[in-house]
Chain A
Amino acid sequence: MPLRPRPKIIDNITVLEFLNAGRDSLKMSVVAGERGMKNIVRDKSINRPALALTGYYKSFATKRVQVFGAGEIAYLRDTKEDKQYKVLTEIAQRHIPCMIVTRGLQPTQPMIEAANENDIPLIRTTLSTRDFLAASTLLLENMFAPRVSEHGTLMDVKGIGVLIRGDSGVGKSECALALVERGYSLVADDKVNIKLINEKDLVGTSNEINRGYMECRGLGIINIAELFGIRSVRTDKNINLVITFTAWKETDEEERTGLESDNFEILGIQVPHIRFSVKPGRDLARLVEVASMVQALKLIGHDSAKEFNERLINQMKTEEPGALI
């Protein structure tokens, strides 16, 4: 068994990482508390601290990014400055990662003071609360996603993401090349980085450095996007099917009916799995292509092998016992 890389679980990110990742999409700028950029966000949910502002701290989600919308800011503006300062200092001292004011609203003076004194970054965004919550939830889901890398090639075959695995030299890249030539797209060659999004989708990407490139024995390094056009590569794809190539052995038992289903586990998710043994004269690209179509058919509720077998069983039932052919 080859060594498989260990999955990585992300359980904290710094405010700076969050800010950098969302600089464009979340339209954020830092107003105060810059010294706290290394503060840690330990939860991917977002909190509105309205209750905490009234001095009620039971179940206050201190691990989360704190978002101050129109409601929170209006409440603070209607509160005396010394009282504001007291409650904001109490909140800050509970080690929240950062405070974010939406809609481009002006933070109150006590907010700025509490942020600076306790090193809690105070950030402003021009987005509305609703848009900010939606966009930052997606961003944090992505940043907190468990991840792992697999040795293999990821292809998009007519909308089905196929991860081709196998020992080095077994012909993964050659097969991918044949698929690209037939008009399908390459997502990642050699090392596929996989993230688990929303605890159900496995999304594969390539490393930035070799996006669109491939190494093929005898040819060396080739630029797929330049040779076959930009639509022959894509940046990411959900993984729907895993295919493992093995060097052919006399004793290998390959699936013959298609009734048994095998799974391959990635980050706790079971992905349908097919094994092909590599023999001379076998058109693996064609097999991968058809396997993807079979999978696509299954996804919309048609199982060829099962339907065929049911037809056969029904046929046998309707025939009278003992009747001649």
Chain B
Amino acid sequence: MSTTDSTSQGSQISVELIVKNRMGIHARPAAMIVRIANRFPAELYVEKDDEQVNGKSIMGLMMLAAGQGSKLRFTTLGEGGQDMLKEMEKLFERKFDEP
């Protein structure tokens, strides 16, 4: 599922995740994503359709207005990216502990 591009500085890894909870990425899930992202030094960018935001910013994530069923592309650059994405996959899988 994830693709690696090691040609650029550091390694850039990206993965596509689908929003499964009913309410989508509102304030609480956005905060959960940011909290995980901030535990790692790697940068995180999240893309929906053509829009790209910084994954370490709550406001940015909320601006994507990603409702249930949205596809989000998570791209990390730098140290710890792989582990960060693993955590993100788990977070999306358990639907942010929401219905």
Contact = CB atoms under 8 A, between A and B. Distances in A.
Interface in A169-225: 169, 189-191, 207, 209-210, 213-215, 221
B59 A190 contact: yes
Given A168-B56, A215-B58, A207 B63 contact: yes
Nearest to A4: B52
B74 to A, nearest CB: 12
A221 B54 contact: no
Given A210-B59, A210-B63, A213-B59, A191 B53 contact: yes
Contact of A214 (B54, B59, B75): B59
Contacts of A189: 59
Find the residue from B12, B56, B62 having the highest chain A CB count within 10 A: B62
Given A149-B51, A215-B58, A221-B27, A191 B43 contact: no
Contacts, number: 52
A321 interface: no
B11 interface: no
A149 B43 contact: no
B84 interface: no
A156 to B, nearest CB: 19
A215 B45 contact: no
Interface in A132-188: 149, 151, 167-169
Nearest to B56: A168
Q: Is the interface of B mostly helix, strand, loop or mixed?
A: mixed
B69 to A, nearest CB: 19
A2 interface: yes
B50 A190 contact: no
B14 to A, nearest CB: 10
Find the residue from A5, A149, A168, A214 having the highest chain B CB count within 10 A: A168
Nearest to B37: A168
A324 interface: no
B63 A190 contact: yes
A221 B51 CA distance: 21
B65 interface: yes
19 contacts: A1-B9, A2-B43, A2-B77, A3-B45, A3-B52, A3-B75, A3-B77, A5-B52, A149-B51, A169-B38, A190-B60, A191-B57, A191-B59, A191-B63, A209-B63, A209-B65, A210-B59, A214-B59, A221-B59
Given A3-B75, A210-B62, A214-B59, 12 more contacts: A8-B50, A149-B52, A151-B54, A168-B54, A169-B38, A190-B54, A190-B63, A191-B57, A191-B59, A191-B63, A213-B59, A215-B57
